[in-house]
Amino acid sequence: MLAGSSWELYSAADFPQLPPVVEDGETFRENAVKKALLVAGILKEWTLADDSGLEVDALNGAPGVFSARFAGEPGNDKKNNEKLLRLLADIPLEQRTARFRCALALASPEGEVWTTERTCEGLIAPAPRGDQGFGYDPLFYLPELGVTMAELPEEKKNEISHRGKAMKDLLAHLKTIAPDCVD
Sign of the CA dihedral 99, 89, 67, 77? Answer: negative
Cα separation, 103 vs 30, in Å, equals 9
Tell me the β-bridge partners of 147. Answer: 142
* E strand or H helix that includes residue 116: strand 113-124
d(CA 49, CA 60): 26
Helix (H, G, I), strand (E, B) or coil at 150: helix
Beta bridge partners of 121: 99
Q: Would you tell me how many other CB atoms lie within 10 Å of the CB of residue 78?
A: 11
Query: Is the bond preceding 109 in cis, omega lying within 30 degrees of 0?
Result: no
The length of the chain in residues reads 183
Active site residue 51: yes
The full DSSP string for 56-111 is EGGGTTTBGGGGGGTTSSTT-HHHHHHHHHHHTTTS-GGG-EEEEEEEEEEE-TTS
Q: Catalytic residue, from 24, 51, 90, 137: name it.
A: 51
Active-site positions read 51
